[in-house]
């Protein structure tokens, strides 16, 4: 989600405009190209279809272009605004005149659907006209303010990319309406939670885009008012005052959006108590509640593990207890890890520490990319870490990706994030360029010290740890500090520049290395991150990973699908800690990935009853079988079958 923190007083670094960064090769270029050519048109079709989503049709009814009743989801408006962000980036990155014109037609439709007082949520507008009992602000689960927030953000992106005021003028009117709502809430003391608070980020972005202080004031009021909610719930993170939060709880999307919005406020104003909260809940997430893939929100349904146990506190799509990280039933809504990206990105701007981008990259390259099929047309809502051939129970969402799911919030959220992925490549400060997500690209750089040039990054990352930086099109020659992120997994490697070489060791992992380049003319920096295959174990409190390990290489988590081994079941595979691996360029759905080939132990279960709950333990030996592992993001693009990330470990020789 595009941010502009160049003038934010508490931002130690600020984003380099993603429109000035172009992916030139490798995984991110392929994902961006697929997003533009497949995902954006696919979503457009879904939103345009009266029979599938009814979303654009709802706007047409409100604008008087069609007749009918409301249909679809209550958050469809907000999902459509998210898609508009992806379309704007796609159109202007690729100079697609047809899509540019279609975007303006949509903006015109949205403007005509808006009510004279600035209100805009299609379900309620249609309900009031038909007098069917649906009215404004009657149910927090109608997601009206969520829709507002995504409109604010989308309108800001539209203004910055196109230079036009048409969409921003709509957003301003809606913000005026929201301001009147908050005036009334403060007057009466009747404050409702705005579930999934996208409007915190949206209002701060309105302030950055317009320069009008009232939007920042409105964001501050919105965050402050949440403490006045009566009978709050952990599900919405409003049971206790915000400044008392010390654990990450409740609905994972709502939590991550909340803390991203609070971080946005902290970039603009000094709020030490809020910053303390951000640090506490961040540590709660990354130390005890995040999946190895960067997935967030382990549980679909449950009860809050905190607070008064005698008061029913239902939670859904939620963070559970510490270390409660199941695999088959892992929920991990795609929007939650996308929200985690927004949050980590803002935390990095508050304090540029490598951990924030390590987590951001883990989320992006694993769970987020897994949420989208390689052809760009099918989506996961939930992101499990283990799939079996069949289950004795039904999960709430499909076990394979779908072109359309009723809760369609994740696909457009994913589309806009991939379309804007170049924004996560670099951040800048006075004389420094901070490396975020690595990938082959060219970036137009202009620093506060006057340096102006095009930075060229050449690499096959994340499949190869060799990354080279050079410069061209130099407009002004000044000293530049290239701040290289050394990921937490990189326990070795080297950096070469200006005839010097620095050997990376374990102490450098998870830090930034400052490389001073006296002149862009002399820019020739080579970073080589050691990408050894590694076995990763979980905390012993993670019950469903006890005695098991996952396999990682670089920033990628690997998994095995049933099609890639002759073992009867993936449940029979035990990892050999002395196994040798060979890397193979392997094609899935027309895309090349680096697969890992090896041999692992397979248990002989000839006398094992797989349907029995308990039975005598029998051991009939093991044999070696060939196994191929692929990046987790590439799974579920072939035949339906088993998949595992965690495998039991064979210690010693059978």
Tens digit of pLDDT for each residue in 186-209?
Answer: 888 888 888 899 999 999 999 999
Tally of CB atoms within 10 A around 563: 13
Mean pLDDT value of segment 47-72: 96
The pLDDT score that the predictor gives to residue 36 is: 98
CA 260 vs. chain centroid, Å, equals 12
Listed residue (145, 159, 138, 45) closest to 92, CA to CA = 159
Question: What's this model's pTM, rounded to 2 decimal places?
Answer: 0.97
The pLDDT score that the predictor gives to residue 390 is: 86
What is d(CA 251, CA 90) in angstroms, rounded to the nearest whole number? 31
Of 71 and 140, more confident? 71
The pLDDT score that the predictor gives to residue 233 is: 87
Asked whether the predicted pLDDT for residue 474 surpasses 60, the reply is yes
Inter-residue long-range contacts of 533-542, CB under 8 Å, 24+ positions, other chains counted: 533/581, 533/596, 534/489, 535/575, 535/577, 535/649, 536/292, 538/292, 538/325, 538/646, 539/288, 539/323, 541/322, 541/323, 542/323, 542/325
Reduced to 3 states, what is the DSSP secondary structure of residue 479?
coil
Asked whether the predicted pLDDT for residue 312 surpasses 90, the reply is no
The pLDDT score that the predictor gives to residue 476 is: 84
What phi and psi, each to the nearest 5 degrees, are found at residue 583?
-95, 140
Mean pLDDT value of segment 229-239: 89
363-418 per-position pLDDT tens digit: 999 999 999 999 999 999 999 999 998 888 888 888 999 999 888 899 999 999 99
Q: Domain residue spans in the chain?
A: 14-424, 427-529, 533-650
Among 180-194, 219-233, 464-478, 537-551, name the one with the lowest average pLDDT. 180-194
Whole-Å CA distances, 538 to 97, 385, 633: 50, 14, 20
**Cis bond upstream, residue 462 (ω within 30):** yes
What phi and psi, each to the nearest 5 degrees, are found at residue 596?
-115, 120
Q: How confident is the model at residue 263 (pLDDT cuts 50, 70, 90)?
A: very high
What is d(CA 265, CA 218) in angstroms, rounded to the nearest whole number? 11
Starting at the edge strand found earlier in the chain, the sheet holding 250-251 runs 250-251, 314-319, 299-303
Retrieve residue 359's tokens.
């987590």
Return the DSSP state at 311. S
Question: Please, where are the H alpha helices in 466-572?
Answer: none
Tally of CB atoms within 10 A around 465: 22
What is d(CA 53, CA 70) in angstroms, rounded to the nearest whole number? 11
Q: Note whether 30 and 76 are within 8 A (CB).
A: no
Average pLDDT, the chain: 95
The pLDDT score that the predictor gives to residue 308 is: 58
On whether the 427-529 domain is CATH 1.10.30, my answer is no
Q: What is the CATH number of domain 14-424?
A: 1.50.10
Mean pLDDT value of segment 447-460: 96
Asked whether the predicted pLDDT for residue 1 surpasses 60, the reply is no
The pLDDT score that the predictor gives to residue 309 is: 52
Listed residue (340, 370, 344, 366) closest to 357, CA to CA = 344
Mean pLDDT value of segment 612-619: 94
The pLDDT score that the predictor gives to residue 313 is: 73
């Amino acid at each position: 989600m595009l941010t502009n923190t160049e003038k934010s007083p508490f931002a130690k670094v600020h984003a380099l405009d993603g429109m000035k960064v172009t992916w030139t090769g490798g995984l991110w270029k392929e994902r961006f190209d697929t997003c533009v050519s497949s995902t954006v048109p696919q979503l457009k079709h879904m939103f345009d279809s009266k029979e599938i989503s009814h979303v654009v049709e709802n706007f047409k009814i409100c604008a008087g272009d069609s007749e009918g009743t409301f249909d679809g989801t209550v958050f469809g408006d907000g999902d459509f605004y998210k898609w508009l962000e992806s379309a704007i980036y796609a159109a202007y990155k690729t100079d697609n005149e047809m899509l540019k014109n279609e975007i303006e037609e949509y903006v015109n439709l949205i403007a005509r659907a808006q009510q004279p007082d600035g209100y805009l949520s299609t379900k309620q507008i249609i309900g009031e006209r038909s007098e069917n009992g649906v009215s404004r602000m009657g149910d927090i689960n109608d997601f009206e303010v969520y829709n507002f927030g995504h409109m604010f953000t989308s309108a800001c992106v539209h203004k910055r990319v196109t230079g036009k005021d048409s969409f921003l003028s709509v957003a301003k009117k809606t913000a005026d309406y929201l301001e009147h709502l908050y005036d009334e809430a403060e007057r009466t003391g009747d404050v409702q939670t705005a579930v999934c608070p996208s409007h915190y980020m949206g209002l701060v972005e309105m302030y950055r885009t317009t320069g009008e202080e009232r939007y920042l004031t409105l964001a501050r009021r919105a965050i402050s008012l949440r403490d006045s909610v009566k009978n709050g719930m952990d599900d919405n993170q409003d049971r206790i005052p915000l400044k008392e939060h010390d654990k990450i709880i409740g609905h994972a999307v709502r939590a991550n959006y909340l803390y991203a919005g609070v971080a946005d406020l902290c970039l603009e104003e000094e709020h030490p108590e809020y910053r303390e909260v951000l640090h506490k809940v961040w540590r709660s997430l990354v130390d005890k509640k995040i999946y190895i893939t960067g997935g967030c929100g382990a549980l679909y349904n449950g009860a809050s593990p905190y607070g008064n146990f005698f008061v029913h506190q239902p939670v859904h799509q939620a963070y559970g207890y510490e270390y409660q990280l199941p695999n088959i039933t892992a929920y991990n809504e795609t929007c939650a890890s996308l929200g985690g990206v927004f949050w980590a990105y803002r935390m990095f701007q508050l304090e540029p520490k490598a951990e924030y981008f390590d987590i951001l990259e883990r989320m992006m390259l694993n769970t987020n990319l897994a949420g989208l099929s390689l052809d760009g047309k099918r989506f996961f809502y939930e992101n499990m870490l283990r799939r079996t051939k069949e289950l004795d129970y039904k999960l709430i969402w499909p076990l394979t990706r779908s072109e359309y799911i009723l809760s369609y919030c994740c696909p457009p959220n994913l589309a806009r994030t991939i379309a804007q992925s170049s924004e996560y490549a670099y951040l800048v400060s006075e004389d420094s360029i901070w490396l975020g997500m690595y990938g082959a690209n060219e970036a137009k750089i202009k620093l506060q010290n006057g340096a102006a040039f095009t930075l060229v990054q050449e690499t096959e990352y994340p499949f190869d740890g060799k990354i080279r930086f050079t410069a061209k099109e130099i407009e002004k020659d000044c000293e530049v500090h290239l701040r290289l992120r050394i990921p937490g997994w990189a326990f070795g490697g080297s950096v070469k520049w200006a005839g010097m070489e620095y050997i990376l060791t374990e102490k450098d992992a998870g830090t930034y290395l400052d490389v001073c380049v006296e002149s862009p003319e002399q820019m020739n920096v080579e970073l080589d991150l050691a990408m050894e295959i590694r076995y990763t174990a979980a905390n012993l409190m993670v019950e469903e990973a006890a005695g098991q390990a996952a396999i990682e290489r670089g920033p990628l988590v690997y998994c095995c699908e049933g099609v890639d081994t002759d073992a009867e079941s993936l449940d029979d595979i035990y990892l050999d800690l002395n196994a040798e691996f060979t890397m193979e360029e392997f094609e899935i759905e027309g895309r090349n990935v680096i697969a890992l080939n090896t041999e692992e132990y397979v248990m002989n279960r000839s006398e094992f009853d797989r349907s029995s709950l308990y039975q005598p333990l029998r051991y009939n030996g093991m044999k070696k079988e060939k196994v191929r592992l692929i990046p987790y993001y590439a799974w579920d693009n072939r035949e339906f079958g088993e998949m595992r990330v965690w495998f039991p470990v064979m210690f010693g020789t059978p």
